[in-house]
Amino acid sequence: MRPDKLKTKIFLDGGDPEETREIIKLLGFLDGQTTNPTLISKNPVVRQRLEAGKKFTIEDAFRFYRSTVEEISALIPHGSISIEVYADHSTSAKEMLRQGKDMFSWIPTAHIKFPTSKEGLRAAEQAVKDGMHVNMTLCFSQEQAAAVYAATRGAKKGNVFVSPFIGRLDDRGEDGMDLISNILRMYQKGDSHVEVLTASVRKIDHLLYALKVGSDIVTAPFKVLKEWTEKGLPVPGDDYIYHGGNLKPIPFKDVALADNWQEYDIYHELTDKGMQQFSADWDSLVG
């Protein structure tokens, strides 16, 4: 059952409905789920098909993605399900928006994932105006989070998520959890219309510290949520100490939220690398 002190929403990060079923049994609740092309490519049905030498057509790949999302949505009917557009370095905002509009029609509780790049932000700005719900993914800096805030200004709370990827920052020696704290602190100056979704969670300590600092949402893979249940679903208090080890701290920057989103320095190499990885994993399904 949901712990009484838990204010953060808990999402599963995965592309297999069987994991969704199992986590709901273990936790006794689940607030939503995040998906992406890499997670869909790891779905057991997909792996079995590819191992048999049978690739998808583009149409079949999107059809499978839709059926998977619909199955997950049926298990969490009131929970947000994030669905990611295909976006490589050459994908235009217009094409992302076209995909996003189609995906948004798949289920009633969709959040469409756009990359936190110039074209992704351009697509998100229009998507919000069109009444869509968005999740800006592959965020690695305060400047990117500020641009998300600016591009989606006027949206209602609950309609916009920003997903800082902490594990990938850890991988290169930076303390990704500092970015969560910094964005939450920066957003205190705003109207709270963007919710912070802690993503790329690799271990139980990531989850616990995100709960402590008050992340609006945490999405975590099956193994981390399972470990959390095995520990009794703890919700850490003020005495909880996160040990970043030898990771380099990420200092807070006093970034204003009032600028036009195009005025922020949003480039981050990890965003580019993430887009390349997601598109390559999606391309691997198609033949």
> CA of 26: how far to CAs of 78, 221, 230, 286, in Å?
19, 13, 9, 35
**What is the phi/psi pair of residue 135, to 5°?**
-130, 110
Q: What is the DSSP letter of 156?
A: P
Active-site residue, from 5, 113, 156, 223: 113
Q: Rg for the chain (alpha carbons), in Å?
A: 18
Is 118 an active-site residue? Answer: no
Q: Provide the b/e sequence for 221-260 (b: ≥16 CB within 10 Å).
A: bbebbbebeeeebeebeeeeebeeeebeebeeeebebeee
As given in the structure block, the two tokens for residue 159 are: 């309609």
Dihedral angle at the C-alpha atoms of 256, 259, 260, 263, nearest 10 degrees?
Answer: -70
Residue carrying the six token digits 């959390």:
228
Question: Which residues are known catalytic residues?
Answer: 113
